Structure 1
Amino acid sequence: MARKGIGEEEYDYLFKVVLIGDSGVGKSNLLSRFTRNEFLLDSKSTIGVEFATRTLQVEGRTIKVQIWDTAGQERYRAITSAYYRGALGALLVYDVTKGSSFENVSRWLKELRDHADSNIVIMLIGNKTDLKHLRVVATEDAQGYAETEGLSFIETSALEATNVEKAFQLILAEIYRIVSKKNVSTEAGASSSAGVKEGQTINVAADASGGKKQCCST
């Protein structure tokens, strides 16, 4: 049975995904485009933490995803441990028109690996592809970095809604595959155990790290 809360829609699994990256790369607009199909031209920097949810179908299952968005400024980095706790996926965002935001990806990746679960699914996102005349980060460079680090990769435009839905669908499908694999192996390894129950927030276990990452770009 799917889980059902009072006044809430039914869902089979609840996944937490975090957005990280420098301030101004478009994290909040990726969130609003995916959850509300909105883009705010005058959006201000996020202060503290905010999150939004959306329920969608992934491989025949109803997945409720809770997406957390926080400020990229240095002064808010003290919240990292609570922010990453329980996250099954992370979208590491940079701005294709801002070289420094891509250079800082390695720092964000280190922070992610220091604070998050070691098996968290990570997708690198190059945002603002609509600003073609201002691009400074080549797709090939980001693709190569992602492959080296074992990350999924895609380029998006929150303004034009390009690949935003696809990015979330890909990372949620990868998380679901890992959770499903763990569920099957848990039930097979311990018949007395109930395994992972539907409707539960799942923590990815070490046995799921062998899944192949998906890579794609515009």
Structure 2
Amino acid sequence: MGVSSLFLVQIAVWQETIVPGAFERDLCINLPTGSGKTLAYALPIVQMLSTHCVKCLRALVVLPTHDLALQVKEVFAAIAPAVGLSVGLAVGQSSIADEISELIEKPNLKAGICYDPEEVTQALQSSVDILVATPGRLMDHINTTKGFTLEHLCYLVVDETDRMLREAYQSWLPTVLQLTKSNYDILFLPLLIHLFHRYLVP
């Protein structure tokens, strides 16, 4: 990545997230584009996920456009493999079948054996630890992809939050929150968290 030193925001976030109990509360970062927000949240998420080697979807980053999602995915992909984590992308630019093959790991089935379809579905599991997605394609996977689950989600990042609110991307968020357990952390960027409560929570 060519990083020789951290930006101020990255240092500040790192210091906030390494103290005991840091991820027991939400974190809001409000800074302009190009100030280093992506690496600021990517580093602590990768660090925290690397301490528990369980293959399931545990971090979700949602952005409004394909280009932004691709940029963020590249940041995660540059650091996550070093600690054994994998990163997926769901943005709608490729076929959903291609995305499913990258996001979902299918069980090894032997030829000539009749399997219970329900048991096969239950055996499906995520092949990525971190998913970067746009709202529309995320909802596609939630609604139609067998084996796609958010029940193990620990970290939810909503990047470009001001744009997500302004451009009416809100409908996906209540669904995501309903599908996750209560032990997630939400990092809303770059807008104050009270705007989320004002516009999205009934």
More strand by share: 1
TM bracket (short chain): 0.3 to 0.5
Q: Give TM-score scaled by structure 1 length.
A: 0.36
With a CA cutoff of 8 Å and minimum separation of 6, indicate the structure with the bigger relative contact order: 2
